[in-house]
Structure 1
């Protein structure tokens, strides 16, 4: 297979914005999310010749974005813990207020407070609209783990949002 079988330009045009928005939900920073997605496309470009199925490219990108987002978060944690470096202030994009209206801000804060595993499962399920099998493949876990993480995450979100609305 050649790199011509995977049309990176078309993939970029069709999926870049969606992948950046997904990454923002995982890393909570637009600039880092854009870097994550760019790195995922670079990795796909390097690997495009070895993909057996060009249709798997979107799944590869999604998995790369999740894994690269994890790396960003790990690096932040190390920096905070060992270097005592303050995180740069996140700058919202021009469409930030349109995307995050008041009624969505509480939900977004609650999702961001979830443990990483639960947050990733819920973002892939409800933002990316993936099946349990696709989520399991993207995260490298069993479908049963996807179900339990989704259940625990949703229970936590319901509890937190119910408390906030009272």
Structure 2
């Protein structure tokens, strides 16, 4: 498989995945671009020796998203008070209210719960693929998804 073809077919899906994990389109695009750059640097234009390049990229995107979130958490702990930038007004116009509610509730889940739900319901991955991407057992993925759905339901109910 050629990396250009892979980029053409999987870039948008990976950006969507990263957006749901880091909650910022520009950062998500950077994360995906960095994942493709690392893949190219490590394996060149031909990916014949790499068994599953899509799984490699998904794992890279999830790991890079975790790093972004860690850096953000560290920055928030800094003693300087920082104002949070307001999202652009068109962002809220584009999302229907129930989508905003779900995204808000998703943001209150733990990192692992959010990752599992995003990979399962947004990226449509199987439990085995999620386990491989996150480096977890299938049982952990299954129990995390169950707890995450219950927590998501509680958050949505509390908001109403």
Structure 1 residue 163 displacement after superposition? 2.4
1:67 and 2:68 aligned: no
Normalising by structure 2, report the TM-score. Answer: 0.88
Cα 1:97/1:45, change in 2 over 3 Å: farther
Cα 1:44/1:97, change in 2 over 3 Å: farther
Structure 1 residue 16 displacement after superposition? 1.2
Q: Which residue of 2 aligns with 1:3?
A: none
1:137 and 2:132 aligned: yes
Q: Which residue of 1 aligns with 2:9?
A: 14
Q: Which residue of 2 aligns with 1:46?
A: 41
Report SS of the residue matched to 1:156.
helix
Q: Deviations over 1:14-66 (max 9, x none)?
A: 11111111111100111111110010000111222596655611111111000
Aligned pair count reads: 159
1:81 and 2:77 aligned: yes
Partner Cα distance (1:73, 1:62) in 2 = 17
Q: Is the 8 A contact 1:76 1:87 kept in 2?
A: no
Q: Deviations over 1:52-98 (max 9, x none)?
A: 65561111111100000000000111112135363763655977744
Q: Superposition pairs for residues 1-166 of structure 1, below 5 Å?
A: 6-49=1-44, 54=50, 56-82=52-78, 84=80, 86=82, 89=85, 91-92=87-88, 97-98=93-94, 100-165=95-160
Report SS of the residue matched to 2:78.
helix
Alignment gaps of 5+ in structure 1:
1-5
Structure 1 residue 7 displacement after superposition? 1.4
Partner Cα distance (1:93, 1:22) in 2 = 22
Cα 1:97/1:17, change in 2 over 3 Å: farther
> More deviation in 47-56 or 104-113?
47-56
Cα 1:37/1:88, change in 2 over 3 Å: farther
Q: Is the 8 A contact 1:41 1:61 kept in 2?
A: yes
